Amino acid sequence: MVIRNTRIFTNDPERILIDDGTVAFREGVFTFVGKSCDFESSGDSEVIDCCGEFLMPSLVNAHLSLHSTVTSHTLIAAEESPLGTAYYESVVRLLSDGAHAKLSLLSTIAGVLRSLRYGVTTIFGPVFHSENLDPELYRYLANKVGVNLSIGPVVTCGNLETVLDIWQEVMSDDLFCPQLYIADAALYSEDQLNMLRQLASSDLRVSFLIFDMHEESEGCLARWGETLTERLMRNSLLSSNSGIAYAGSLSETDMDLLSSRGVFVSKSVRSELYGGIFSPTIADLLGRGMQVNVGSGFVDVDIFAELKTIMLTDRHFRHFGNKMIDYEIKKTLLEGNYKLANRCFGKKTGMIKEGYSADMVLGKPFVEIDTFDDKLPVALQLILRLPTEVIFRKVWNNGKLVFEDDCPVGLTQEEMRQIIDKADP
């Protein structure tokens, strides 16, 4: 396929923007990216003439709380608990007690389809724990829609064995990577940590929900005589195959240890603000050489709104200028998120460049004017302009068209109902 006469944001540092550009891809991989005048057509390819539309890599949401897309439990938790870790403990309890299987599946489908509207084709995040839901339905959904999913239930000491009975044999494939989200890590016994260690050495990814590391480490010291970081490291649970979500109140020592082991840290600033644990730490984490990702959390699926919030909070609390904020955007959304996707799914993604996976979004501007100022940072302008000035019209993942004109290509309403009906009541 060939897409021509488009303005391209490549995310390739060697040529970040291409005016009047053309891309060609075959078997899911870009074979040409450049100026339209330099492209020689073979004559046998389908051609899309864009007439000035905008093309960019499709996006990765590193932490989307899929459980929040059709329920109000995050608001319920706010009614029950004050701000801080107590609020998140209430959310975790609501997620881990078990849920209606169809509700769990419906919330995941809703999150995936809404994400496509924002150009997101790879999603990481927790879902409801449900004893009556076969995880293979999530794989079926990923393959049916054509998106990459790395999702799984929230795990606590209380539901650990039940979750393992359901999830421990689930395998990864090109589009589905099972992942468990571990809450209350300081409370786990040695036997339970051993269970998690066995999981971490298998096909299952493990991410820890750390809302306040200082508070959890103090509890871990009182209970077990060692900090949480020390205990997880001793059990080989902090590695490049594991992650930490939220990462509140990390000490400098924690940052250095996590950085040395290549642990991915996913931040959801709006969720932290709502829960009352926010601190503007992304620059500090990056400064320690950490792999930092961003996700939209439980507020909504809008990854652009998340980056705008980072811009506003860093501007207000840290007094950062445009270049520093642009650097954070590039290192998280436009670099770290793609590294996470590559780690889980083993594909080169995140750039419109020859040899990379053909994962991209085609958008039509509301007003056909040049809105990029060459004198200002490009990534920052991108976040401010999209999607308020561009309608995302087509989305591809692995070279496959998965979203067109506000509708998923691979999933009809009837097929969606059939998937939900496969879940036990």
Place domain 2-58+351-408 in its CATH homologous superfamily. Answer: Urease, subunit C, domain 1 (2.30.40.10)
The full DSSP string for 362-417 is: EEEESS-S----TTS-HHHHHHHHTTTSEEEEEEEETTEEEEETTEESS--HHHHH
pLDDT at 200 over 80: no
- The phi, psi pair for 139, rounded to 5°, reads -65, -45
Domain ranges of the chain: 2-58+351-408, 60-345
pLDDT digits (tens, 9 = 90+) for 98-151: 667 888 888 999 999 999 999 999 999 999 888 888 999 999 999 999 999 999
Q: Which residues contact 40 (CB under 8 A, 6 or more apart)?
A: none
* Poorest-pLDDT segment among 10-19, 167-176, 196-205, 413-422: 196-205
Phi, psi at 298, each rounded to 5°: -100, 5
As a CATH number, domain 60-345 is 3.20.20.140
Find the mean pLDDT for residues 353-381: 86
Q: What is the pLDDT of residue 369?
A: 53
Tens-digit pLDDT profile for residues 278-305: 999 999 999 999 999 999 999 999 999 9
Pairing assessment for the beta strands 47-57 and 2-9 based on DSSP bridges: parallel
Domains 2-58+351-408 and 60-345 share a fold: no
- In angstroms, how far is CA 350 from the centroid of its own chain? 13
Bridge partners of 205, per DSSP, are 179
CB atoms within 10 A of CB 425: 7
Confirm if 138 and 106 have CB atoms less than 8 A apart: no
